[in-house]
Amino acid sequence: MRWFVRPSYYGPLLIRGSQLDNSHQIRFDDGLLSEIALNIPQGDSQQWYDRPSETRLQVPGCYAYQVDGIHFSQILVFQAVVKNS
């Protein structure tokens, strides 16, 4: 997963998530982070900010990320499935 932030945004950004159809958490990167907290610096208004990460899930199911900024909150819902080889 790679998180992209539009050039016009700067300030704090919080990314977190959980399972919607059970009680499992989403973990990030090495599995130790339950959220990603960023502070996007004010900079070149033509350049996108990006932050690579890994999402760690314990089981398949319905999950959601919540992304919060200064003047917005966005929910991104997805279904995680096990793909049979």
Give residue limits of the domains in the chain. 2-42+49-80
- Quick one: pLDDT at residue 21? 95
pLDDT digits (tens, 9 = 90+) for 44-77: 678 888 999 999 999 999 999 999 999 999 999 9
| CA 68 vs CA 11, 14, 17, 29: distances in Å | 11, 5, 11, 19
> Tokens 């899930």 correspond to what residue?
57
- Quick one: pLDDT at residue 41? 85
Handedness of CA 78, 85, 58, 53 (dihedral sign): negative
User: What is the mean predicted confidence (pLDDT) over 12-37?
Assistant: 94
- Quick one: pLDDT at residue 15? 96
46 vs 29: which has the higher pLDDT: 29
Look over the chain and give the mean of its residue pLDDT values, rounded to a whole number: 92
pTM of this structure: 0.86
Give the pLDDT band of residue 85 (cuts 50, 70, 90): confident
